[in-house]
A and B are shown apart, each in its own frame.
Chain A
């Protein structure tokens, strides 16, 4: 017990101990900003992997660690697409995952947004053209926001998510 308290006190607050990302080159489109309006400052995400190399998953998981602590921005990760406002899709969409991706999209209640995370999801990356790949994601479901990088750093994902939040401010109440 005392050991745990001592450990926590000695460690202190680590949230925010990372180098901030530069602004992403791709701006959020007005349509995407409009679509995110209903979610204001609370966004529930369901992550779907359609054939990534699992580096993007590791960075998504890192978002939940105490250093990035994505929940402080009102971003929550849901266990089911039925609870989600946004789908974060990684990977180039393999032949075997194509149907599962479309299913998940159908299962997610409207209104919803789709975020393509990583180079593979955006333009198939190194796997472009392979017999086993049918992507990119936007070939199968409409994509609203693209976050490039192989993989994008957690700080870059955070930056994109916060731009999403800010993007709705001017048109918001």
Chain B
């Protein structure tokens, strides 16, 4: 805490007049600012060498019908000790304008466009005012997260086209891809501008899968929305449900039993394992090297079947509940997990030797799709994508949750930022996850797996939580409404941050390498589109 408080003092010394109020939220310092001063303070926080705050989350809340104001919150992660710092500001009454911070902080770009679409608040000075979530056929004035917008509104169909950024000139042409792709993957649109082979520009046009998840959360009770969180992004079932549960537990002041915390870590690592194993194979497959794909597909399937045997769900659904876990494992089951993973690790080590002995594979992976450390920092890239580009952040170590405060973790870190680095991060994390699960089995305490929540949080109180899912940090902000209802739930999948970064990683590469680069990021469309 000392470190972040020094940062707060520094901010106050520099911009004391801008700060209206200071109050911590669950041990995270929060500064309430004058609306007009947000860009300068944010700029200072982002660029000052002793602070170097990366924007982690930017969200808005509509406080109607109780108070006539919108609130904007900016969550920064400070570089040194990864402490969190919150800036907040209010838009009173009918005020719908706020000053954009995007001109100084790239990472805010999509967040501010999202806020404009969902709340109808206008980021003044934003360099890109096109719609993001609402496609052009949405009617004017439909802002789903405003409280006067009914959740089951039937939208009329308007006309309009998305204006892609265009590069024109001799020999330059555009290649549109999607929304429906050739493989079995989710829908999204990519617009390439190429001159000859190399990509000059890529524009990602997403949100085809927007299902209104955040609005649906507002219909749920705090304790009953876990199944919805599990379906934000199916491949990150445990990550999302855990992040949701933790936020609600902070809000309801529930002490999660130690055994449950260990089991949560176990399930989270199992999820990381099956996804990473699948990705290593899929990256090889995109270089037309089918053998590792077959082996990895088989190993992944073994873990999915193990999940099924343990919990009755291949995706570990129903594992997390508010207050703990819904499924306890016996000692025999834990032994079974470790035995299975031992055998998988032996097999995977064999496979690694085959992979790294293959020069043509290495040739395809090295220097392909480089995301430089600087670009990664500018876009606040996180998770395994960030760690492959030298961004040393891992929530499991920086802000331990579940049982990670009692488990020793070695964070995989590479600097080259190419496809190979992203594959290396995955491979290292596979070994680390298996080691962690062995540790969990060794140290797991006896006891209950669930504490039932009893306290109903006061209206307007809120909490946030962060979980290092297999893709990266998943953030949830949950605000309580009347009598245990949800007033607002902000969901942030790491994909939302890393999608803009991929636009920079592909520059100068050839289109046939795009599937490979995209696979090495392997971002969720569902988690991004919500």
Contacts and interface: CB of A to CB of B under 8 A. Distances in A.
B234 A151 contact: yes
B234 A94 contact: no
Contacts of A80: 182
A91 B211 CA distance: 10
Contacts of B177: none
Contact of B207 (A47, A67, A96): A96
B152 interface: yes
A53 interface: yes
Contact of B304 (A51, A62, A127): A62
A100 B235 contact: no
B428 to A, nearest CB: 21
Contact of A53 (B233, B298, B308): B233
B224 to A, nearest CB: 12
Contacts of B15: none
Given A66-B294, A151-B315, A95 B138 contact: yes
Interface stretch (A33-41, A128-136, A158-166): A128-136
A126 B184 contact: no
Nearest to B234: A55
Interface centre among B135, B184, B300, B351 (most CB of A within 10 A): B184
B288 interface: no
A153 B314 contact: yes
A57 B304 contact: no
B262 to A, nearest CB: 26
A135 to B, nearest CB: 10
Given A51-B211, A131-B144, A131-B212, A100 B298 contact: no
How big is the B interface, by class? 35 or more
B182 A94 contact: no
A7 B350 contact: yes
B212 A18 contact: no
B228 to A, nearest CB: 6
B359 interface: no
Contact of B211 (A68, A92, A100): A92
Interface string A100-133: 1000100000000000000000000111011111
A139 interface: no
> Most chain-B CB neighbours within 10 Å: which of A51, A54, A150?
A54
A143 interface: no
Interface string A1-29: 00110010001001000100000000000
Given A7-B351, A7-B354, A65-B301, A100 B180 contact: yes
Given A7-B351, A132-B155, 20 more contacts: A11-B298, A14-B298, A18-B305, A50-B187, A51-B529, A53-B234, A54-B186, A54-B233, A54-B524, A54-B525, A55-B237, A57-B184, A94-B210, A94-B211, A95-B135, A100-B180, A131-B142, A131-B144, A132-B210, A133-B211
5 contacts: A52-B186, A56-B234, A79-B183, A131-B150, A153-B308
- Closest 9 pairs between A and B when the two form their complex, measured CB to CB: A55-B234, A65-B297, A79-B182, A132-B212, A53-B234, A130-B212, A53-B231, A51-B209, A131-B153
